A and B are shown apart, each in its own frame.
Chain A
Amino acid sequence: MSEVPFKNPGWAGNTGEFDLDEDQVRGDDFVGTRPREGGHPSGAATYPYMLPEKHPDAPLFEGEHKERFEKILTRYPNKQAALLPTLGLAQEVRGHVSPETMDRVAELLELSPAYVRGVTTFYTMYNKRPVGRYLVQVCTNISCNLCGADDVMEAFLRYTDTEIGETSEDGEFTVVEAECLAACGFPTCVQINSRYYENVTPADVPKIIERLKAEGAGGD
């Protein structure tokens, strides 16, 4: 932890920054909502942590998601290459990638379900089981570790009252260890859903949790 206090211009994590909203913190409107319609041959990013299994019987992609899926298909020379973005989109819709979801994706992309399972389980970010509303990923890799990541992790576990890798009883928080999140100059870095929280100390943890609870049903 640095002894020289400084303002990190992007991220809430330093003491006292928590009442600024996104635009104020970030300073302009070009970082904020990503183009929801999937944009040009460009973004295929995802929000993986929506609440689980909204309508398990409905077709996997409907309406706006179906359009995004079709746009994804245009960006790659074959259907197999669209697998990772499609799985990400499926996770956005369903909250996690269940066997049934893998089957649907396999059907859509004309791949075998076993193959889709092999690819899905290779990558860390596809949740194979439902996660809480907030997936708290604490980096404990070397740079953050040198600056007290273990204490931050322990604080998160205490304040969410959960075990590592598990979801809290109220279904709000799942706390996991993450590998290096590429914010090593701002230890400890914590990723909660899609947002980075940098320079987190154990003292910041209760404030972060409060803020998240207050955000409540807005999702992220």
Chain B
Amino acid sequence: MAYPYVSDREVRVLSKYFGDPTQRRLDTYVERGGYQALKKAFEMGQDAVIDEVKTSGLRGRGGAGFPAGVKWSFMPKQPTKPHYLLCNADESEPGTFKDRELMRWDPHQLIEGILIASYAIRAKHAYIYCRGEFFEATQVLAKAVEDAYAKGYAGADIMGSGNDIDITVHVGAGAYICGEETGLMNSLEGRRGQPRVKPPFPAAVGAFGMPSTVNNVETLSAVPHIITHGGQWYRQWGTEKSPGTKLFCVSGHVNKPGNYELPLGFPLMELIDDVCGGMRGGKALKAVIPGGSSVPLLNAEECGRCSLDYEGVQAVGSMLGCASVIVMDEDTDIVKQVRRMVQFYAHESCGQCTPCREGTAWMTKVLLRIEEGRGTEDDLDTLLEMSRQMTGTTICVLSDSAAAPVVSSIQKFKDEYLALIRRGERVGVA
């Protein structure tokens, strides 16, 4: 069965079997070399596994980009309390749809990654926190976990190695903020999913008060490959500081939106023009959000200079985040889209911190008013001031994320705002 999004520019490491439903079957997975990495990891030993992942330079694929090996090394080497590995499958960032595909098509890859990571951090129990809306992906994953248990790849005495690792699939209930690592831990504990103050950090006090590590689905899916081929092998792609491949989720006004696995450092315009078949309808590019709705917008000129790795995107004034590239063409109504994004953050704010709770709602109301043509130029100053007060002042970065599109769109697309304010005219149509 042909998976719709294939480009010959792709390097399909994690996404090799996307579109192949037989990959969900344990026997197929094993035939294709599955669970050999796990076996190798057990033979290498826990610290060697951590070192290998450190060597690979794998950075967290959930948006923060923190090196995974370093994160694992924060866990105590001699556990005095139970450790937990938490797989963050709460994919809710607008524009992101890679984790769902990874869970649906290659669940065993994820499970193997989880098992290796749990082993490395001395955890005996891993929770996969799945987003509540992912019914099908959760079903696939749950079935895969059961099959793994049945054949001795998970649970007690895995593959006769003497290691016990349990996996529980936990389902969330619809809250973006539970994708934040401490929010996830609170939600797992049966509380409101509100982020916690750090310090203490999860490696000291995490889920149920025990040392925990939270990793994204894509990060964990990369681990078996790194163990099989070695950390150095992973570095053959990408850049010095951003090694490896990344699943880029392209959406918006391109001809072929979808997931494309490409080496980090790939030029943005090539992604749009070559891999995704260009702008739909041949329209001109207006703006791109390179890393999910939480990062600043880039205008067309900046896109031309942008290479898609963590440093490259930072160099043009944005962030790579989870590499969800949202492409907007010349007909886009920027004000409307920014308003919709801020509305999303207002809806999802947990309500603890004052700047976020009040600020996101206030910004939504101001933007709605501007959209309706009843805005003033003072409103733009107010929005910028609000954004400044919402950045760096809260427990988690949701309010920073809400402020980012506002600030960048006012800076780069001020004429659209002014058109609405001065003449009540919308520049775009969508």
Interface residues, chain A, CB within 8 Å of chain B?
Answer: 1-4, 6-10, 26-28, 30-32, 34-35, 39-47, 75-78, 80-85, 87-88, 109, 118-119, 122-126, 137, 140-143, 145-148, 178-187, 191, 194-196
B250 surroundings in chain A (CB, below 8 A): 185
- Given the complex, which residues of B lie within 8 Å of A147, measured CB to CB? 252-253, 430
The reply to whether B169 and A30 form a contact with Cβ atoms under 8 Å apart is: no
Interface residues of B (CB under 8 A from A): 1-5, 19, 21-22, 24-25, 91-97, 99-100, 104, 130-136, 138-143, 145-146, 149, 155, 166-176, 187-193, 208, 249-253, 255-259, 277, 280-281, 289, 293, 324, 326, 328, 332, 336-337, 340-341, 344, 347-348, 350, 430
Known: A27-B1, A122-B175, A185-B251. A180 touches B344 (CB 8 A): yes
Contact B249 A185 (CB under 8 A): yes
The CA-CA distance from A82 to B132 in the complex, in Å, is: 15
Partner of A145, one of B96, B189, B337: B337
Q: Are A185 and B97 in contact (CB under 8 A)?
A: yes
Please measure, in the bound complex, the distance between the C-alpha atom of A148 and the C-alpha atom of B252, giving whole angstroms: 10
By Cβ-Cβ distance, the 8 closest A-B pairs, closest first, are A43-B142, A124-B174, A83-B190, A125-B174, A123-B173, A143-B251, A184-B251, A194-B135
Question: Are A119 and B190 in touch, CB under 8 angstroms?
Answer: yes
Which residues in A have their C-beta under 8 angstroms from that of B25? 28, 30
A143 to B168, CA, bound (A): 32
Residue of A nearest to B126 (CB): A41
Residues in B neighbouring A43, C-beta threshold 8 A: 138-139, 141-143, 145-146, 169, 171
Bound CA–CA A127/B60 (angstroms): 34
Q: B145 and A2: CB pair below 8 A?
A: no
- With contacts A31-B21, A84-B170 taken as known, whether A182 is within 8 angstroms of B131 at the C-beta atoms is yes
| Contact A44–B173 (Cβ < 8 Å) | no
* Residues in chain B near residue A119, CB distance under 8 A: 190-192
A106 vs chain B, min Cβ distance (A): 12
- C-alpha gap A135/B289 in the complex (Å): 31
Shortest C-beta distance, B338 to chain A (Å), equals 9
Q: Using CB atoms, name the residue of chain A closest to B328.
A: A146
**Bound: A109/B140 CA distance, A:** 29
For residue B189, which residues in chain A have a CB less than 8 angstroms away from its CB?
A: 80-81
Q: Is the CB–CB distance between B133 and A181 below 8 Å?
A: yes
Q: List 18 A-B contacts (CB under 8 A).
A: A2-B256, A31-B104, A41-B155, A42-B141, A42-B142, A42-B149, A43-B138, A44-B169, A87-B173, A122-B350, A125-B133, A146-B326, A146-B430, A179-B348, A182-B134, A183-B97, A185-B257, A195-B136
Complexed CA–CA distance, A184 and B253 (Å)? 11
CB pair B188 A81 closer than 8 Å: yes
Per the bound structure, the CA–CA distance linking A147 and B327 in Å amounts to: 11
Known: A81-B188, A82-B190. A46 touches B171 (CB 8 A): yes
| Chain B CB within 10 A, most for which of A77, A140, A180, A184 | A184
Contacts of A46 in B (CB 8 A): 132, 171
Q: A2-B280, A41-B167, A42-B146 are in contact. Are A142 and B293 (CB under 8 A)?
A: yes
CB proximity of A6 to chain B, nearest CB, Å: 4
A183 and B19 within 8 A (CB): no
CA A3 – CA B171 in complex, angstroms? 36
User: Distance in Å from the Cβ of B209 to the closest Cβ of chain A?
Assistant: 10
Asked if A184 and B192 make an inter-chain contact with CB atoms under 8 angstroms apart, the answer reads: no
Besides the contacts A45-B142, A191-B133, what 4 more A-B pairs have beta carbons closer than 8 Å?
Answer: A44-B168, A88-B173, A184-B257, A185-B250
Question: In the complex, which of the residues B94, B140, B289 has the most CB atoms of chain A within 10 Å of its own CB atom?
Answer: B94
Residue picked from A27, A47, A178, most chain B C-beta under 10 Å: A27
Q: Which residues of A contact B24 (CB under 8 A)?
A: 28, 30-31
The docked-state distance in angstroms from the alpha carbon of A124 to that of B92 is 13
CA of A63 to CA of B91 in the docked complex: distance in angstroms?
34
B17: shortest Cβ distance to chain A, in Å? 13
Q: A84 to B190, Cβ gap below 8 A?
A: yes
- Contact, CB under 8 Å: A118 / B174: no
B97 touches A2 (CB 8 A): no
Please, which residues of chain B bring their CB within 8 A of the CB of A179?
Answer: 92, 94, 176, 344, 347-348
Residues in chain B near residue A181, CB distance under 8 A: 133
State the CA gap A30–B104 with chains docked (Å).
Answer: 11
Chain A contacts for B336, CB-based, 8 A: 145
CB distance from B112 to the nearest CB of A (A): 15
Nearest B residue (CB) for A33 = B139
| Inter-subunit contact A180/B21 (CB<8 Å) | no
Kindly list chain B residues whose C-beta atoms are within 8 Å of the C-beta of A2: 255-257, 280
Q: Which of A109, A146, A183 contacts B252 (CB 8 A)?
A: A146
The reply to whether B173 and A142 form a contact with Cβ atoms under 8 Å apart is no
Query: Are A7's CB and B4's CB within 8 A?
Result: yes
Please determine whether B94 and A184 come into contact, CB atoms closer than 8 angstroms: yes
Chain A residues near B251 (CB-CB < 8 A): 143, 146, 184-185, 187
User: Are A122's CB and B139's CB within 8 A?
Assistant: no
**Contact between A185 and B176 (Cβ–Cβ < 8 Å)?**
no
Contact A75/B95 with A179-B347, A187-B251, A194-B135 known, Cβ cut-off 8 Å: no
Which residues of A lie under 8 Å from residue B94 when comparing CB positions? 141-143, 179-180, 184
CB distance from A99 to the nearest CB of B (A): 18
Q: What is the minimal beta-carbon distance from A128 to any residue of chain B, in angstroms?
A: 12
Complex-state Cα separation, A2 to B251, whole angstroms: 10
Q: Do A27 and B142 touch (CB < 8 A)?
A: no
Chain A residue contacts of B136, Cβ below 8 A: 10, 31, 194-196
A196 to chain B minimum Cβ distance, whole angstroms, is: 7
Chain B residues positioned under 8 Å from A148 (CB to CB): 430
Min C-beta distance of B35 to chain A, whole Å:
17
Residues in chain A near residue B99, CB distance under 8 A: 182
Tell me the complex Cα distance, A183–B101, Å: 9
A186 to B258, CA, bound (A): 7
Residues of A within 8 A of B326 (CB): 142-143, 146, 184
